[in-house]
């Protein structure tokens, strides 16, 4: 019997799970609140530029990751060769201990990760669908089986699903659990465990200039939490992203600065961010970009991970979780593989169910 799988979130975890289920006896439906896929692994286009304004690249996760990315197609795959340097509160950018790991993206942007994963599946992706309530109830087929149903903010119901996988950031997942109707003691324990995961807030500014300077680094990261800029990178180092002669900087501000200025107008906060970038680079021209863009990530990076045993405690009831917060590290490849590994477990269960039904 085909297993009906509902996945909340089409980020790296949700897409990875769907990819792992592509050959299983499963019918996969993904509910995604935004109009695109990829989550923080997202790309925008503006004024002939492409830029990865959330996750900047897929950090080398070893041969497993390299093989998967090539499996998705070499066309347009880009390995950023310039290194990542470091700086501290003094603002001095200096050579770091770069491990020469691959930094993968695509000429069309890092959003290709989610798109390519999902293009190789039969999953139905319902975009613009924000889930607000979950219920565990009888299947209605005269058996003792129970299923999961979801309700969105437009009042539409989705399901029933035999298996439910939640992949949003921990605070959003905790909110969904709090809005779940399920008469089981594990629900409270799960909600508490997920709620305990703290996140860093990051506001990103994209700054465009009609000139291009040469630097020996692609990106620079603050290593002592002593600077208002947490990360600065040069999007022109990625093939196909920035027209010749222009430069496009991605400035991800430090968590405290980001939280304090999260709701400030881009005209004000962006101007201040550009001043900080100009000071960091020692060049006043960077205080006056040609144009700016921004994105706030309220739940950007987890500070740790939830207890694995607790997170997996409801899998026998068909409730699964995936995401960087389940592994405690805010890396794209960790989120991807957390979803993929869960997808494999769901697929194994679907295979067992199919055998039982024969």
Give the mean pLDDT per block of 10 residues along the chain (358 residues): 96 98 97 94 96 91 88 93 95 84 93 97 97 86 78 96 97 97 96 96 98 96 96 97 97 98 97 98 98 96 94 97 94 96 92 48
Domain boundary among 302, 320, 344: 302
Judged by DSSP in three states, 297 sits in: strand
Task: Output the pLDDT for position 358.
Answer: 39
Is position 50 within any domain?
no
Task: Output the pLDDT for position 354.
Answer: 43
Asked whether residue 274 falls in the same domain as residue 141, the answer is: no
Contacts for 225 with CB less than 8 Å, ≥ 6 apart: 254
Pairing of strands 103-106, 77-79: antiparallel
Asked whether residue 239 falls in the same domain as residue 319, the answer is: no
Residue identified by tokens 């009888």 is 138
Asked whether residue 121 falls in the same domain as residue 27, the answer is: yes
Is position 188 within any domain?
yes
Asked whether residue 326 falls in the same domain as residue 180, the answer is: yes
Contacts for 185 with CB less than 8 Å, ≥ 6 apart: none
The beta strand positions in the chain, using DSSP E, are 3-8, 26-31, 43-46, 49-52, 58-59, 77-79, 84-87, 103-106, 124-126, 131-138, 146-152, 157-161, 163-166, 180-181, 199-209, 219-222, 229-234, 247-253, 291-302, 319-321
Residue 16 structural domain:
3-38+115-198+304-357
Asked whether residue 348 falls in the same domain as residue 263, the answer is: no
Asked whether residue 220 falls in the same domain as residue 325, the answer is: no
Contact 78, 29 (CB under 8 A): no
Pairing of strands 157-161, 146-152: antiparallel
Residue identified by tokens 């989705």 is 158
Is position 172 within any domain?
yes
Asked whether residue 136 falls in the same domain as residue 191, the answer is: yes
Task: Output the pLDDT for position 137.
Answer: 87
- Number of domains the chain is built from: 2
Residue closest to 229 by CA, chosen among 211, 247, 202, 208: 202
pTM of the model: 0.93
Asked whether residue 274 falls in the same domain as residue 342, the answer is: no
Is position 52 within any domain?
no
Asked whether residue 227 falls in the same domain as residue 255, the answer is: yes
Task: Output the pLDDT for position 355.
Answer: 47
Judged by DSSP in three states, 129 sits in: coil
């Amino acid at each position: 019997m085909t297993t009906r799988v509902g996945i909340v979130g089409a980020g790296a975890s949700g897409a990875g799970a769907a990819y792992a289920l592509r050959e299983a006896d499963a019918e996969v439906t993904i509910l995604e609140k935004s109009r695109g896929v990829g989550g923080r692994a997202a790309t925008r286009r503006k004024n002939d530029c492409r830029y990865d304004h959330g996750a900047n690249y897929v950090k080398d996760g070893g041969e497993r990751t390299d093989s998967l990315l090539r499996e998705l197609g070499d066309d347009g795959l880009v390995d950023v060769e310039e290194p990542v340097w470091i700086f501290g509160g003094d603002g001095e950018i200096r050579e770091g201990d770069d491990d020469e790991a691959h930094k993968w993206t695509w000429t069309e942007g890092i959003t290709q990760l989610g798109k390519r994963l999902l293009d190789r599946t039969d999953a139905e992706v319902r975009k613009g669908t924000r889930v607000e309530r979950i219920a565990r109830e009888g299947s209605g087929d005269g058996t003792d089986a129970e299923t999961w149903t979801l309700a969105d903010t437009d009042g539409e119901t989705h399901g029933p699903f035999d298996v439910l996988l939640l992949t949003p950031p921990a605070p959003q997942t905790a909110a969904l659990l709090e809005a779940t109707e399920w008469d089981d003691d594990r629900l409270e324990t799960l909600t508490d465990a997920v709620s305990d995961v703290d996140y860093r807030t990051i506001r990103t500014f994209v700054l465009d200039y009609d000139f291009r300077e040469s630097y020996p680094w692609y990106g620079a990261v603050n290593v002592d939490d002593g600077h208002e800029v947490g990360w600065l990178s040069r999007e022109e180092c990625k093939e196909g992203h920035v027209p010749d002669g222009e430069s496009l900087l991605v400035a991800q501000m430090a968590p405290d600065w980001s939280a304090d200025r999260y709701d400030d107008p881009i005209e004000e906060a962006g101007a201040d961010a550009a001043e900080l970038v100009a000071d960091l680079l020692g060049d006043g021209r960077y205080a006056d970009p040609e144009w700016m863009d921004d994105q706030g990530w309220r739940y950007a990076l987890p500070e740790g991970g939830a207890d694995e045993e607790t997170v997996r405690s409801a899998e026998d009831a068909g409730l699964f979780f995936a995401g960087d917060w389940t592994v405690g590290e805010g890396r794209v490849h960790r989120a991807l593989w957390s979803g993929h590994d869960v997808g494999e477990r769901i697929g194994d269960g679907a295979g067992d169910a199919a055998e039982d039904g024969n």
